[in-house]
């Protein structure tokens, strides 16, 4: 009988030279190559390392695994920083050697040094292997709802919705019966265009008015990344009376969490309180759906706190429904 020699595994930061090996492992796991996705994520981490935590595991045969995480700064109405575990993969021959656990431990250690209190991720409800792995490594169901809405080819005529709102309830009277009038008024009155770096001061101003906090640095980093990743640029601003009166910061996930369908996730949307009740939020998300259809994006997705009953009711009213994906959290303190 042959002797099985245990392999030595080391964990280190993911590097540019790892790209080919990462793509090869991922293609074996997913059944198709996703090179463009990993090129974007690696390039984003090199441009702004403060927003990313990416690690690799090596064994005697080369790259054994990889894990990509991104810092969450204000997404989904959050205040405290969290780290979103976007994807993790282990070479099939290296499974059963705690490679994934070693990488998770390193990401958790590095996150703690940055003052990050928790890891967040999501998984399909019937991905039994991933659910078992998350359970074994201390993750629990997060107290949030994941909602989604399909984007049809007739996106402009579909019900317009919003997700991950900074404070959408300031913009919409959820008890009103005239919401469609607001939506029509907003569509007739405002222009919606792609977001640019020059829009940052006005976006930060609206964000401060809604949250009471100055988050300009975090917004700048997210905006810079969204614009640089031109293949998945879906962030928008609304212009009325010659001024920016609303914005929607979104990203198109073309591979995160093992997704097989392109999904647009609206992290943050805000409307200037002085322009409330004019349907601007509706128009922004309506345009996001239209642009998503043109980019072959199949659905919108968001995460909502269960206590935010007004926002949940709004989202259901505009066509969102519970997703087949489950949110998970791992406390780090």
User: Is residue 231's pLDDT more than 50?
Assistant: no
The mean pLDDT of the chain is: 81
Query: Rounded to an integer, what is the distance from CA 20 to the centroid of its chain?
Result: 25
User: Is residue 244's pLDDT more than 70?
Assistant: yes
Q: Is 324 left (phi over 0), alpha (psi -120 to 50) or beta?
A: alpha
Tens digit of each residue's pLDDT (9 = 90 or more) over 173-220: 323 333 444 455 555 568 999 898 899 999 999 999 988 888 888 788
Confirm if 281 and 293 have CB atoms less than 8 A apart. Answer: no
Q: Tell me the two tokens of residue 30.
A: 């997913």
Which one of 3.40.50.720, 3.40.630.30, 3.90.950.20, 1.20.810.10 gives the CATH number of domain 10-116?
A: 3.40.630.30
Lowest mean pLDDT among 1-15, 78-92, 207-221: 1-15
Question: At 164, is the pLDDT very low, low, confident or very high (cuts 50, 70, 90)?
Answer: very low
Find the DSSP H helices in the chain. Answer: 19-30, 35-47, 99-113, 128-136, 179-189, 200-211, 216-228, 280-294, 309-317
Share of the chain above pLDDT 70, in %: 78
Question: At 222, is the pLDDT very low, low, confident or very high (cuts 50, 70, 90)?
Answer: confident
CA distance 103 to 109: 10
Could you tell me which residues come within 8 angstroms of residue 224 by beta carbon, excluding any fewer than 6 positions away? 47, 48, 197
At 218, is the secondary structure helix, strand, or coil? helix
Q: Is 13 left (phi over 0), alpha (psi -120 to 50) or beta?
A: beta
Lowest mean pLDDT among 2-16, 23-37, 92-106: 2-16
Task: Establish whether domains 10-116 and 145-323 are of one fold.
Answer: yes
Lowest mean pLDDT among 78-82, 88-92, 132-136, 273-277: 78-82
Predicted local distance difference test score (pLDDT) of residue 30? 87
Phi/psi of residue 261, each to 5°?
-105, 140
Predicted local distance difference test score (pLDDT) of residue 151? 85
Question: Which residues, in sequence order, are bridge partners of residue 317?
Answer: none
Predicted local distance difference test score (pLDDT) of residue 228? 66
> For the chain, which residues make up each domain, given as ranges?
10-116, 145-323
Predicted local distance difference test score (pLDDT) of residue 265? 84
User: Which one, of 78, 316, 288, 286, lies nearest residue 174 by Cα?
Assistant: 316
User: Is residue 153's pLDDT more than 60?
Assistant: no
Predicted local distance difference test score (pLDDT) of residue 73? 72
What is the full DSSP assignment across 50-90?
GGEEEEEEEETTEEEEEEEEEEESSGGG--S-EEEEEEEEE
Which H helix or E strand runs over 249? Answer: strand 243-253
Tens digit of each residue's pLDDT (9 = 90 or more) over 167-180: 333 333 323 333 44
Predicted local distance difference test score (pLDDT) of residue 139? 97
Handedness of CA 113, 104, 116, 267 (dihedral sign): positive
The superfamily (CATH) of domain 145-323 is Gcn5-related N-acetyltransferase (GNAT) (3.40.630.30)
pTM of the model: 0.77
CA distance 305 to 281: 19
Share of the chain above pLDDT 90, in %: 41
Top pLDDT among 116 and 313 is at 116
Q: What is the mean pLDDT of residues 52-69?
A: 96
């Amino acid at each position: 009988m042959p002797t099985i020699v245990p392999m030595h595994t080391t964990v280190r930061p993911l590097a540019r030279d790892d790209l080919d090996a990462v793509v090869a492992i991922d293609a074996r796991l997913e059944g198709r190559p996703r090179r463009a996705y990993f090129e974007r994520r690696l390039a984003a981490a090199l441009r702004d390392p403060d927003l990313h935590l990416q690690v690799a595991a090596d064994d005697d045969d080369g790259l054994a695994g990889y894990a990509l995480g991104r810092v969450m700064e204000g997404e989904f109405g959050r205040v405290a920083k969290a780290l979103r575990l976007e994807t993790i993969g282990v070479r099939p021959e290296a499974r059963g050697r705690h490679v994934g656990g070693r990488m998770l431990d390193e990401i958790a250690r590095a996150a703690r040094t940055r003052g990050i209190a928790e890891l967040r991720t999501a998984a399909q409800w019937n991905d039994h292997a991933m659910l078992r792995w998350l359970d074994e490594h201390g993750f629990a169901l997060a107290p949030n709802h994941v909602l989604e809405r399909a984007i049809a080819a007739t996106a402009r005529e579909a019900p317009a919705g919003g997700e991950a709102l900074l404070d959408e309830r300031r913009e919409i009277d959820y008890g009103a019966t005239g919401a469609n009038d607001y939506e029509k008024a907003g569509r007739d009155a405002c222009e919606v265009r792609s977001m640019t770096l020059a829009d940052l001061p006005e976006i930060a101003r609206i964000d401060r008015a809604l949250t009471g906090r100055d988050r300009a640095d975090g917004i700048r980093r997210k905006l810079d990344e969204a614009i640089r990743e031109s293949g998945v640029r879906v962030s928008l601003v609304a212009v009325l009376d010659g001024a920016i009166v609303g914005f929607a910061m979104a990203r198109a996930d073309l591979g995160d969490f093992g997704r097989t369908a392109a999904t647009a996730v609206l992290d943050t949307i805000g409307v200037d309180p002085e322009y409330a009740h004019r349907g601007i939020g509706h128009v922004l998300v309506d345009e996001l759906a239209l642009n998503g259809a043109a980019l072959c994006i199949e659905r919108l997705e968001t995460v909502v706190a269960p206590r935010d009953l007004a926002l949940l009711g709004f989202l259901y009213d505009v066509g969102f429904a519970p997703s087949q994906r489950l949110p998970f959290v791992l406390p780090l303190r």
